[in-house]
Chains A and B, each alone.
Chain A
């Protein structure tokens, strides 16, 4: 053990900012991260063992006790539950012989829940070790678990043809890309990356920034910050080093377009990063890849390697004085790491706690230096803008939302998958395109976005000034119970809150409690009023986007579908609120009387 940990420590030069990589290496080696390993790491890094535990305990996929030879993480999301999740869950418990949250008697399997794993177009889905299985049924589960019991690895079961993990065929054997509608920007085969980059390197950095600025490209992660402006500010900021980070922590439930981009057009993304690096003067780039996409890692490493061999990465890129290389940083399971400052903390080996702003990452980001964090889709767009020009890009979409956007469509429709749309199309247009029958509501931008009514909002435009969309597009038809969906979203936010600030950590729990009261038929008008007021508190005072957006599903469904809530609230009878359960409250006395009062007194 000592030897192993020492070699892990020396692999990362005892650099504590690489703690997450070290923890992954330990977990791969031992199956979990035990006390002894933590002690050795703490000695090597001059950190107290509890300081290391701070990081470990923050992340969902780090495990600290033996949890079976195979760890099964079944995705529990709204979309999974619309597609047969319950049957699959029951089948897993049946075949494995233990309940969720436990390890079975033979110590072969551990069953765990997990949130959306970026496969909403092929749910139910589960992660087993380093692979995923999609479109699950009870029969399929039986077959998979049976093969694992016979001693096969999860990789052997998922990839029975034995494809090379560095090859796209391997990724194809695990997941489908389901690209349904193509547009002008993404998934174009045969791009001449060398020619595009050479064109860029013939310009001075400020010219590149000018092209990106004049294209009006806005950040595709959701917030829509102008990309050119971000680059200019980062380029102008003072620092000894500058960093480019690609945010591939696609954690918003319902979105999966970055997974498909990284599978189909990884080099568009990489070239976008190289161009950004040249524009702002960076030598080091990081792709922060969520654990749920770890089956893409070897494939992406191969893409990086090919870029290096082609002279598009590394020292003296295309024989100029420009040096730039990229490493992949694996996440470890935390939705909050999609927030750029939390992501940077995570890249530094720490808990993914969003930072206090200012300073902003463009001023002080990764390792305290100016850092430019952009989304996968933003970088892919950059690659095409520099190939075809900003006028070409501006010719698509609307004046303030230029270009195209990838939608990850899931839920009640005939064609779930990826759709490239021009900004400005209406909600109804998209619903028709995807074959949605009888749609009632669409959750735009995932739980952190807004729930819209198809009847009321059908003609609204998908663009930054109207229906801004980060790519997640979940459709619910008239047979669905929206309040159930809201409960799932609120549970998600409570689970994913980092806990650093009061309104998000504590307020989310109270809102979830209110939703439970609503579903139990024990809420009255006062509870709805509380939701509005407490939701406003969270929106106004939370530290980061998680807390400020967490009440939105609840508030927007109340606004769009007030009748749903009016139907389920009850009137107070007498002086007591319906949420007060008199029977339950009195049980405490009965229990105390039974256990505390001596027999002779009774």
Chain B
């Protein structure tokens, strides 16, 4: 059923039940996100797509649109909240863009630019996290994990359907883990899929680091905003 909603004062038409973040993108309004992948089930973990819906703040990837919904995206308070969430991610892990293989194709970095982040308002924590090189094709650079859960939910062993990536422990003690036996069985295209799906430089494909020159990488050619507005799945 076709419904009408307003986004920042503009009336737009959409199909009832469509995710708000998609409806916004289809109508030229970019809402940043770090966990949502268009076409896949909503994860709702990063909250960076928070917007105001009828006066309450909601993550737009979790909101199915209904008729008459009033949405505010570029209102100062909620815009600052999105920025704050990105800043929180930068201090929670260790993100050193200049020395990261993922620079230029990293969504956290790209979204950092989009929300105009200069420096984090939160104190840097410099956590000590162990990296994991054991698997043949992948190394896990845990310093950069933002716990978006994309790899946990969307990358499964082709044969058994089992989880290859998983989260150990909870809260501040959580860490991303990889099942080495299953990971070593991943075909090359699945390894590439996992590393591309990772919004940061945590899942790194061994031997790939600098295959594309800096300056010619994904978000350097076309910004994350432009890609989202074109309906890019990521």
Residues of A within 8 A of B (CB): 46-51, 53-54, 57-58, 334, 351, 356-358, 494-503, 505-507, 509-510, 513, 530, 534, 537, 540-543
Contact A357 B163 (CB under 8 A): no
Report which of B50, B171, B179 forms a contact with A497, defined as CB distance below 8 A: B171
The residues of A that contact B167 with a CB separation of less than 8 Å are 54, 351, 499
Contact A502 B170 (CB under 8 A): no
The residues of B that contact A500 with a CB separation of less than 8 Å are 45, 147, 149
CA distance A49 to B163 in the complex (A): 9
Q: List 13 A-B contacts (CB under 8 A).
A: A48-B163, A50-B163, A51-B163, A357-B62, A496-B171, A497-B172, A510-B88, A537-B81, A537-B85, A540-B50, A541-B47, A541-B81, A543-B44
In the complex, how many angstroms separate the beta carbon of A216 from the nearest chain B beta carbon?
25
Contact A501 B46 (CB under 8 A): yes
Counting residue pairs across A and B whose Cβ atoms lie within 8 Å, the total is: 118
Contact B170 A497 (CB under 8 A): yes
The residues of B that contact A334 with a CB separation of less than 8 Å are 170
In the complex, how many angstroms separate the beta carbon of A540 from the nearest chain B beta carbon?
4
Kindly name the residue among B78, B88, B157 whose own CB sees the greatest number of chain A CB atoms within 10 A.
B88
**Interface membership of B57, Cβ < 8 A:** yes
Contact B88 A499 (CB under 8 A): no
Chain A, Cβ-Cβ closest to B56: A540
In the complex, how many angstroms separate the beta carbon of B155 from the nearest chain A beta carbon?
12
**Interface membership of B223, Cβ < 8 A:** no
Chain A, Cβ-Cβ closest to B78: A540
Contact B166 A506 (CB under 8 A): no
Contact B172 A499 (CB under 8 A): yes
The residues of A that contact B78 with a CB separation of less than 8 Å are 540
User: In the complex where A48-B163, A50-B163 touch, is A502 in contact with B50 (Cβ < 8 A)?
Assistant: no
CA distance A57 to B167 in the complex (A): 9
**Interface membership of B117, Cβ < 8 A:** no
CA distance A520 to B162 in the complex (A): 48
Chain B, Cβ-Cβ closest to A334: B170
Contact A505 B171 (CB under 8 A): yes
The residues of A that contact B161 with a CB separation of less than 8 Å are 46
CA distance A537 to B86 in the complex (A): 12
The residues of A that contact B149 with a CB separation of less than 8 Å are 500
The residues of A that contact B125 with a CB separation of less than 8 Å are 509
The residues of A that contact B157 with a CB separation of less than 8 Å are 48
CA distance A593 to B147 in the complex (A): 36
**Interface membership of B210, Cβ < 8 A:** no
Contact B163 A47 (CB under 8 A): yes
CA distance A538 to B94 in the complex (A): 22
**Interface membership of B168, Cβ < 8 A:** yes
Contact A541 B50 (CB under 8 A): yes
CA distance A418 to B111 in the complex (A): 52
Report which of A53, A356, A497 forms a contact with B44, defined as CB distance below 8 A: A356
In the complex, how many angstroms separate the beta carbon of A102 from the nearest chain B beta carbon?
18
In the complex, how many angstroms separate the beta carbon of B145 from the nearest chain A beta carbon?
11
- Per-position 1/0 for B160-186, Cβ under 8 A of A: 111110111111101001110010000
Contact B166 A48 (CB under 8 A): yes
CA distance A502 to B121 in the complex (A): 15
Q: 19 new A-B pairs (CB below 8 Å) besides A357-B62, A543-B45?
A: A49-B179, A50-B179, A51-B163, A53-B168, A58-B169, A356-B44, A497-B171, A499-B167, A501-B47, A502-B45, A506-B89, A506-B92, A506-B122, A541-B47, A541-B59, A541-B85, A542-B47, A543-B44, A543-B47
The residues of A that contact B44 with a CB separation of less than 8 Å are 356, 501, 543
Contact A513 B123 (CB under 8 A): yes
Q: What size tier do the contact residues of chain B reach?
A: 35 or more
Contact B170 A356 (CB under 8 A): no
Contact A540 B81 (CB under 8 A): yes
**Interface membership of B42, Cβ < 8 A:** yes
Kindly name the residue among B50, B121, B174 whose own CB sees the greatest number of chain A CB atoms within 10 A.
B174
In the complex, how many angstroms separate the beta carbon of B169 from the nearest chain A beta carbon?
5
Residues of B within 8 A of A (CB): 42-48, 50, 56-57, 59, 62, 64, 78, 81, 84-85, 88-89, 91-92, 121-123, 125, 146-147, 149, 157, 160-164, 166-172, 174, 177-179, 182
Contact A501 B170 (CB under 8 A): no
Contact B163 A502 (CB under 8 A): no
User: In the complex where A507-B88, A537-B84, A541-B50 touch, is A498 in contact with B177 (Cβ < 8 A)?
Assistant: no
Contact B45 A501 (CB under 8 A): yes
CA distance A25 to B117 in the complex (A): 50
Contact B170 A499 (CB under 8 A): yes
CA distance A481 to B193 in the complex (A): 54
CA distance A358 to B59 in the complex (A): 12
In the complex, how many angstroms separate the beta carbon of A490 from the nearest chain B beta carbon?
12
CA distance A136 to B178 in the complex (A): 44
User: In the complex where A513-B123, A540-B81 touch, is A50 in contact with B172 (Cβ < 8 A)?
Assistant: no
Contact A48 B182 (CB under 8 A): yes
The residues of B that contact A534 with a CB separation of less than 8 Å are 84, 122
The residues of B that contact A540 with a CB separation of less than 8 Å are 50, 56-57, 78, 81
Report which of A358, A495, A502 forms a contact with B64, defined as CB distance below 8 A: A358
In the complex, how many angstroms separate the beta carbon of B229 from the nearest chain A beta carbon?
23
Contact B160 A46 (CB under 8 A): yes
In the complex, how many angstroms separate the beta carbon of A584 from the nearest chain B beta carbon?
13
Chain B, Cβ-Cβ closest to A542: B47
The residues of B that contact A53 with a CB separation of less than 8 Å are 166, 168, 177
The residues of A that contact B64 with a CB separation of less than 8 Å are 358
The 4 closest A-B pairs by CB, nearest first: A540-B57, A356-B44, A497-B171, A50-B166
Kindly name the residue among B46, B56, B84 whose own CB sees the greatest number of chain A CB atoms within 10 A.
B84
The residues of B that contact A510 with a CB separation of less than 8 Å are 88, 122-123
Contact B85 A502 (CB under 8 A): yes
Kindly name the residue among B121, B146, B177 whose own CB sees the greatest number of chain A CB atoms within 10 A.
B177
Chain A, Cβ-Cβ closest to B85: A502
In the complex, how many angstroms separate the beta carbon of B71 from the nearest chain A beta carbon?
15
Chain B, Cβ-Cβ closest to A50: B166
CA distance A495 to B174 in the complex (A): 11
Report which of B42, B85, B174, B182 forms a contact with A499, defined as CB distance below 8 A: B174
In the complex, how many angstroms separate the beta carbon of A499 from the nearest chain B beta carbon?
4
CA distance A98 to B161 in the complex (A): 44
Kindly name the residue among B147, B167, B179 whose own CB sees the greatest number of chain A CB atoms within 10 A.
B167
